[in-house]
Structure 1
Amino acid sequence: MIKRDVVFPPGRQALYERNRYSPAIRSNGFLFVSGQVGSRPDGSPEPDLEAQVRLAFENLNAILGAAGCTFDDVIDVTVFIVDPQSSFETIWKVLPEYWGSAPYPTLTGIGVTWLYGFQFEIKVIARLPDTGEG
């Protein structure tokens, strides 16, 4: 059995352990990040959608940073959106603040009916920086 190389963002390990999943796993030069939502430090949802999207990206960036990555290292993105028809424009106006410049990562958007009280979730796969270790 392979031992999972888990990456925890600063200060949130207890939240992930309580919910029984890993925020991210390093494997074969890649970082697989679990879906990140706009949760406050106690795990509760940020009620304002625009603020929730920003907080989801901040939570994502904390994990990427803990692994030595930035959003520029992201190669694949999946977003889950509750009621995309009414929330898409609000969400998409926040993305440029975090997305960086072209070329952009691949993207899959999925409309869902429930996200445990959240309206937006983002999960990514990133390439780990080459450390020169060998």
Structure 2
Amino acid sequence: MGVQKSTFDLGVPWEKAAGYAQAVQVGDTIYISGQLGHEADGTMVSPALDGRQSVEHAVMKAQLTQAYRNARTILEHFGCTFDNVVEEVVFAIDIQAALAVMKEVRDEFYGADAKPQVANTTVGTTALAIPGQVVEVKFIARLG
């Protein structure tokens, strides 16, 4: 007998193709898969048009903002907000571009006046899964 789980998907094509859930709840913990900067239909927001490691800040901000919007949809499904997030991991193909816009984007979702009580790890990487993707954010949230 396995662990009791509740899952949630956004309905994008790669969920079924890759065989994973966008989020899994086990007990009072919600594990949210890496969120991308894509619209509901899976279309990437502001896709980077080349494979360079240097990304315009506007592209990074647009994709990072959409990744947080997608995470908000998942959190809301479980009756949560960003106040429930305890950890996030950001993967970016241009870490300097990510660092330049992360605070502004976080302020939008955690609150500009709030001091986010969230653990963060930011990782530079050479590639991500979807062509044109420049950033991905994984979250862990706790109910309560």
Asked if residue 83 in structure 1 is aligned to residue 94 in structure 2, the reply is yes
Secondary structure of the 1:110 match is strand
CA distance in 2, matches of 1:50, 1:128: 28
Identical counterparts, % of pairs: 31
Please state which structure has a larger fraction of its residues in strand: 1
Secondary structure of the 1:64 match is helix
Which TM-score applies when normalising by structure 2?
0.78
1:45-124, aligned counterparts within 5 Å? 45-47=44-46, 48-100=59-111, 101-116=114-129, 117=131, 118-124=133-139
Secondary structure of the 2:72 match is helix
Report the alpha carbon displacement of residue 15 of structure 1 after superposing the two structures with TM: 4.9
1:25-40, aligned counterparts within 5 Å? 25-40=24-39
Partners of 2:12 and 2:40 within 8 A in 1: no
Which TM-score applies when normalising by structure 1?
0.83
Q: Write out the 4+ residue segments of structure 1 that deviate beyond 6 Å after TM superposition.
A: none
Unaligned runs of at least 5 residues, structure 2: 47-58
Unaligned runs of at least 5 residues, structure 1: 130-134
Partners of 2:37 and 2:64 within 8 A in 1: yes
Q: Deviations over 1:17-75 (max 9, x none)?
A: 23321011111210011000101223232123222111111100000001111100001
